[in-house]
Structure 1
Amino acid sequence: MVQLAADSLKRRSGHLWVHAVLLLGSVFMVVPFLWMLSTSLKTYAESMQVPPVWIPSDWHFDNYSKVLETVNFTRYYWNTFFMTAGRTIGQLLLCSLAAYAFACLRFPGKSIIFVAMLSVLMIPSQVVMIPSFVIMRNLDWLDTFYVLIIPGIFSAFGTFLLRQFFMGLPKELEEAAKIDGSSYFGIYWRIYLPLSSSALVSLAIFTILASWNDLQWPLIMTSEESMRVLSIGISSFQGQHATDYPLLMAAAVMATIPIILIFIFFQRYFIEGIAMSGIKG
């Protein structure tokens, strides 16, 4: 009994340390967001005050309306939403098709093609930025939704993520479908996709985050005000000699809220998809 009590106490102390570390990590993650929210309600003088003031003396909710008046924030929101939706739908379709081919089909050079595709992940995007700009200009896609959406509708990471998940599904389901006369596309559409909702949600969240926060590609490929996205609109509040921090933080809060809501509602599928994607290599 004494030994059992000692083992139980040891396990509890171990769990206590784990929870303490997680709590400390959560504080480091939440504090910047709380500071951003607090600054968005301050005056410019309070935002520059030393020592910093956490709670503003007067809560200036009008900073949010000033953001809408200063820049065409509604247009930026629409452009970002349209770009994000197009990229996400494209990646869910194309990456799942490619992942199914790499996971379930047999064709010459499959492994070589897969490794070559993954090697793209090791190339920094800045290396191919100039060639990409030249190609987009020759296609006459600059300052259009084509340049914002089409280059982002496929990713090697998404293909790898879904391939790992597909390889973990029972092969008996595919064999039974073949016996029933189902085609490869029918197996993909009726069996693999319905069973992969958690992995698809994970890929969708990754794609939404990357697209919503994308700054470099839209900044280089667009110059017209009507084609700007949120990340560029937020950066416009940061000047060369001065930065209006309350308006900057108010714009950041408005841009962050949709992402937080998406993660809150879909976090269960996100965690499940990430966990199951690493079951089988």
Structure 2
Amino acid sequence: MRRILLYAALVLIAAVFIMPLYWLFSSAVKPSGEIYRFPLQWIPRHLHWSNFTNAWHDAPFGSFFINSIVVTLIGTAIKMVLATGSAYAFTFLPFPFKRVFFALILGTLMTPGTITLLTNYLTASDLGWVDTYAGLIVPGAGSAFGMFLLRQQMKSLPREVFEAAQMDGAGHLRILVRMVIPMSRPMMITVTLISVIEVWNDFIWPLIITTTTQMRTLPIGLLYLKSQEGYNDWGAIMAGTVMVAAPMLILFLLAQRYIVAGFSGGAVKG
């Protein structure tokens, strides 16, 4: 009986998360009349694939996709390089005020990002980065959370291996590239996935720093599509939402086992 209740509770929790996604995907292939129908039409009677073509043509989704891909790939790469290098430094290198700097970096996790929006915008504007890829990427290049996760993972690695490598003449860069990164692979993938999702879904900063439609990213593209369609064609809006959300859902499904391995492999070890 306890097992049955447990499975029932798990099914209920799963339904809470799955039903909104199902409604999103099903509405993306429904005609507008079925979306507004009451009682709700859960299963589409006819698949209305033209919603996707309408969304694609009513908003420049090609430009939005290119901008999001460029910003996500470059932004994530910079985040990972900075997070990995700083995590290695805080784990293996002695330097003055190490604990103070680490506490200051962790302090940024407790600071709402909206507090720095104005200063970041003024700085980017002074540098001429408004409506550019540099303005979209550079202000968000740091990742205190990613650095913290990687540091916790690196602290769980056996020090004897690295000490032996140093005795054999290996430098810090070689140890990082040849040993630390391969041994931290699950957590590296986890932090990369978190960074990708964070950059891909970012809304506020791209909305502020870009001024032309050609430089907008996908989340802003949905707002543009909504302004084009109004409340008249929710099928096209849902189709546009699917096009934005689907890449991250697929990426998560492909990498979920690495996420579990990363968080269960000593990532929260002190």
Residue matched to 2:261: 272
Of 74, 97, 102 in structure 2, the residue corresponding to residue 86 of structure 1 is 74
Amino acid at match of 2:15: V
State the alpha-carbon separation in 2 of the partners of residues 279 and 142 from structure 1: 38
Cα displacement string for residues 45-81 of structure 1 (whole angstroms, at most 9, x for unaligned residues): 2222222211233211011011111011011011101
1:110/1:245 CA distance change after superposition, 3 Å: same
1:222/1:183 CA distance change after superposition, 3 Å: same
Of 156, 173, 182 in structure 2, the residue corresponding to residue 168 of structure 1 is 156
> Which secondary structure state, in structure 2, belongs to the residue aligned with residue 237 of structure 1?
helix
Cα displacement string for residues 87-135 of structure 1 (whole angstroms, at most 9, x for unaligned residues): 1111111100000011111111101100001001111111111111111
- Residue 250 of structure 2 corresponds to residue 261 of structure 1: yes
- Report % sequence identity: 32
> Which secondary structure state, in structure 2, belongs to the residue aligned with residue 108 of structure 1?
coil
Once the two structures are TM-superposed, the CA of residue 238 in structure 1 deviates from its matched residue by 2.7
- Residue 94 of structure 2 corresponds to residue 106 of structure 1: yes
- Residue 118 of structure 2 corresponds to residue 130 of structure 1: yes
Amino acid at match of 2:130: L
Contact conserved, 2:59 with 2:225, CA < 8 A, in 1? no
State the alpha-carbon separation in 2 of the partners of residues 14 and 186 from structure 1: 53
TM-score scaled by structure 1? 0.91
State the alpha-carbon separation in 2 of the partners of residues 17 and 87 from structure 1: 45
After superposition, residues 1-281 of structure 1 pair within 5 angstroms as 13-239=1-227, 242=231, 244-281=233-270
Residue matched to 1:9: none
Q: Please, which moves more after superposition, 146-155 or 171-180?
A: 146-155
Amino acid at match of 2:155: M
RMSD across aligned C-alpha pairs, in angstroms? 1.6
- For these two proteins, the number of residue pairs brought into alignment is 269
TM-score scaled by structure 2? 0.95
Residue matched to 1:3: none
Amino acid at match of 2:72: T
| Rg larger in structure | 1
